[in-house]
Structure 1
Amino acid sequence: MKVLLINGSPRAKGCTYTALCEIARELEKDNIETEIFHVGSKPIRGCMACGGCSKNDSSKCVFDDDTVNIALEKAKEADGFIFGSPVHYAAASGQITSFLDRFFYAGSGFQYKPGAAIVSCRRGGATAAFEQLNKYFTIANMPIVSSQYWNMVHGNTPEEVQQDLEGMQIMRTLGKNMSWLLKCIEAGKNAGVPLPEKEPRLVTNFIR
């Protein structure tokens, strides 16, 4: 089993990375493979809703000049996902927002794979950013993995984040909970428990 952890901070080894590393260590203790993927510090295009990704059914975005398609390839081998972001103006970073809009719009195969979000902030705005990130899971049939408190750490540097003892414990608990849920899903598959039966997709437009 493998969990792909996406670092949505422009800083490759900053506060968000510190929190993700704490989760990864807990997963690896439980023999879950991990990979931390950095979205990068270069600009990431926003989704234009062109529909090009669905026309060729490739699960690939038509824009191929940033890290989105690289991550989509890695996602095919992942059994679970954790997305991390710093808090910018009480919201997720611009990088991870543009990244996830295209990642979920162009990608496929996320259904019934557990997902979790974590945020890192100096002081405030964490719950708003956390709520924003969780909405990607709730539109994609993904079970959300929780912890003992909202998944956030506080600090202005990696060293300060490490001093947030409660925050780091929350990250470890999240790792344990992700591992437990992945193993429960695997046990269900081995026991012959089928996935939920899907109805044909209905779309209702209120203006006719």
Structure 2
Amino acid sequence: MNVTPTVMSAYGYCAPEYERHGELTSKADVYSFGVVLLELITGRKAFDTTRPTNEQNLVNWAQEFFKDQKRFPDMADPLLQKDFPVTSLNQAVGVASMCLQEEPSVRPFITDVVAALSFLAMAPCGAPIPARLVPILSAKVGTSRQSSQEDEGQQNEDLDSDDDSSDDDSDISTSKQSTSRRVTIREPDRDAK
């Protein structure tokens, strides 16, 4: 059965593959979650027309910061007044960057994102990272718009080794209105390397 529901999306939260081809998978939801996480980290909106043109789209603005870990503190919400553990910020930005990868197959599964953020929320600062979370919390953060085949292959190997029965790739969520179109839902191939 081919499902073609009408899906609503809000500008700034929509995954690139959905914007281009109407392709909606659980990895598109991971992208949208990455935008929300980036909003929480930065205190900015996904799209803000009150900012200068080159800063209006949050994900595009963040790309330059993703390239240089030394600049991550400059991304933090100004209301925090630089009062946060830098290591935790770096790891949170790393998770957001992984969620915002251009290529859906490189994005983590949401269960891995939840595990990584749970670790960040509960572990004492400087605690060793559990092996399962190393691919996400120790990710090479560069521009999320580019990834090498080697990194993509390793990411998929690491994520495929986590057999989590609670991961439901059939869940499709909808977000606020702005765009409506018919889409074909295609599930990601977990076994593809």
The TM-score range, normalised by the shorter chain, is under 0.3
Q: Identify which of structures 1 and 2 has the higher relative contact order when contacts are C-alpha pairs closer than 8 Å and 6+ apart.
A: 2
TM (normalized to structure 2)?
0.28
Higher strand share: 1
TM (normalized to structure 1)?
0.26
Higher helix share: 2
